[in-house]
Structure 1
Amino acid sequence: CVLTDSPIALTYIRAEGVAGRMGQRLMAAVVESPNGKVYVAASEIEAPDFADLVQTAPEAEILHWAGCTNVVVYGMKTFPSLFNLRQQLALTTFSSLVVEAREVIKLDAIKAGLPDDDIRLRDGGTGATAYAEAVSVYLACAIGRAADYWNTLTSWESGGEFVAHAFTKHALPIVWDYGEINPLTDGGGSWSSALGWIARVIDLLPANAPGHAFQLD
């Protein structure tokens, strides 16, 4: 306990989490300056309320696997509970924009000369519709990478002063302090960084054989 210096039992901490009485508090913000990074106290930062802006996120349950999904024993039993309100707002907004972008991409492809044949990618299409769907898949992959950084299971690497992504291992361990990334910056973990990673992967993908995808769940 930070007030009394008395040890707190692990069972008590977990029980409080399951009861919904374990929260989070902003401690500081890291901002860029001409002399490098500057740490600003949380008391100097206005914390806006995003509750009315967040779209409904899928309430999928996290199955507990001892040693792998320990967040569950602290009350984080659904996937939305792994994200704060700002992160939920960012991810749902970017996900919705992918759908809108697909239509814009299709129109641009038609203007560029691709046939407007309405043949989907899964049906072997090579026209504007298939092209728009392919680019949308790549954008969805970028959102997946962004989600690895825009969550409450990241960690702050004090040595390099950057945010480390959640899946540093194949598990969802509880994290007691995390770094929250501004999606609109140009640094690591931002949207532009996620797009850059996916673009570099696409450049190296072999294209000498057709690929197939199957929905199994």
Structure 2
Amino acid sequence: MLRVALIAPPGGGKGTQAAMMKEHFGLVHIATGDIFRAIVRGEYKGNMDVEMIKGYMARGELIPDQVVIDLVVERISQPDCAKGYLMDGFPRTVEQAKAFDAIDPSKRLTHVLYLRVPREVILDRLLGRWTCPTCQAVYHEKTHPPKVAGICDVDGTALIQREDDKEETILKRLDIYEKQTMPLISYYRDAKILTEIDGNATIYDVFSQIKEVLSA
């Protein structure tokens, strides 16, 4: 059974590759960010203390590692994960990884894929990204521009640049990623389950690398 974690910097193509992996390998895609958003919307179906988690989020506080781990363990214990899953957004730190590994050896990850993308490429990808606030279509100034500059092809709405795609925010996100998440690379390399993927290749070339690793 494939139990995979995908690690990539913001703008590294993780979402695109996760969708393709889910389709090709039949993996359940577990994105902790999606779970937390479901909790806020009142759509979460698990047994966690939802009000406690909402409280942390409402106060802008980091959710404690143990709460995040408990949430992930509950999710991967559900029947749809019996044939394999892909974790996206977890673990974020070495501390989370060690705590998860200590719970049950049978639940440990079989593969960790690290999409390696240079910082300057990340900045170029994110700074050129514009979004339609109505239909959420995403454009890029260089690689996928709208037919009319600044206007959505789908519904004619003026495009906006999300706060997440502004330079100051991007640089903060990259700094946090490099400080908290990059140490995971050494941790999983030492565990001999890490594979580095050239995330600067085309979408399909990146996926071809991933397929080679997971099909071996």
Give the shorter-chain TM-score range.
under 0.3
Superposition TM-score, scaled by structure 2 size: 0.21
Superposition TM-score, scaled by structure 1 size: 0.21
Which of the pair is proportionally richer in helix?
2
Q: Which of structures 1 and 2 has the larger relative contact order (alpha carbons within 8 angstroms, sep 6+)?
A: 2
Which structure has the larger Rg?
1
